[in-house]
Amino acid sequence: MIETGFYPGCSLQGTSSEYAQSTLALARVFDIRFVDIPDWNCCGATAAHNCNHELALALPARILALAEKQGLTEIVVPCAACYNRLNVAQHELNNNKELKEQVSEIISMPVSGNILILNIMQFIEKYIAKKISEKIVKPFSKKVACYYGCLLVRPGNILKFDSVENPQSMDKLMQEIGSQTIDWPFKTECCGAGLSVSRTDLVGKLSGKIIGEALDRNAEAIIVACPMCHSNLDMRRPAINRFLGLKTTIPVIYITQAIGMACGLSEAETGIRKHLVKVNIN
């Protein structure tokens, strides 16, 4: 059995519990065991870096320090916002010795900055992708729009993951399980992110453009890897419908749910029933 560290972040234990549910279920299918980080805290996304620089570094640094203390050499971070914040903090600390010492003092723990941080696609590519064909029970034969959002691939010089403008990793994984992926220009456009509560009107407009483009290209589902993106595209559908002037029913599905269903996991196991926009998997 493969063991690797796991940082769920706040969303996966709250509004995006189905993301955690499907990720854990998928790991079991491929005989992977996640090791939790004890006493983990919020990483500070999405507001900390706009409010207090030290806090924005100390919060993710504490998570990394706890993982290092536990002896972990890598951690899987499914949330794109958490993945972004942990990587950016580690990069900044590793390039500023004085700042690293300062933050280590704040969190009362040393942080070496050597841990490998994997997003959900990197995790799947490393441990699952080569075995997917053996596990497919029912191909996910839909025409899909792979939506990466703005935090999973940016800033490119730090994350060094996929193309900033035209990423392909999610597309390749979906093609592997039988999907047809569309070529579209909205892969990394912002959905409105943390403005979901304070400016629902802006989220409706930004997310509406994404939904509208996917529909114009005849996509049957939108695939995501970010709790915030899923929340805006799924939960804010009334605002999106008002912006578009029509009722939209295209579902938004986590990549772990799509792969899980292709591998024979049930609706209950993937948490697909928790979505506000109904998912028809037939």
pLDDT, tens digit, for every residue of 58-77? 999 999 999 999 999 999 99
Residue 282: is its pLDDT beyond 70?
A: no
Task: Show the tokens assigned to 226.
Answer: 């970010």
pLDDT band at 199 (very low <50, low <70, confident <90, very high): confident
| Rg (the chain; Cα; Å) | 19
CB 183 within 8 A of CB 214: no
pLDDT of residue 49: 66
**The CATH number of domain 2-120 is 3.30.465.10:** no
pLDDT of residue 68: 97
If you average pLDDT over residues 215-219, what whole number do you get? 98
Assign domain 134-274 to a CATH class: alpha beta
Residue 48: is its pLDDT beyond 70?
A: no
3-state DSSP call for residue 144? strand
pLDDT of residue 280: 83
CB 232 within 8 A of CB 200: no
Residue 198: is its pLDDT beyond 90?
A: no
Residues of the chain by 3-state class (helix, strand, coil), percent to 5? 50, 10, 40
> What does pTM read for this prediction?
0.96
CATH 3.40.50.11810 in the chain is located at: 134-274
Residue 252: is its pLDDT beyond 90?
A: yes
pLDDT in tens, 96-149: 999 999 999 999 999 999 999 999 999 999 999 999 999 999 999 999 999 999
If you average pLDDT over residues 231-260, what whole number do you get? 97
CATH 1.20.1050.140 in the chain is located at: 2-120
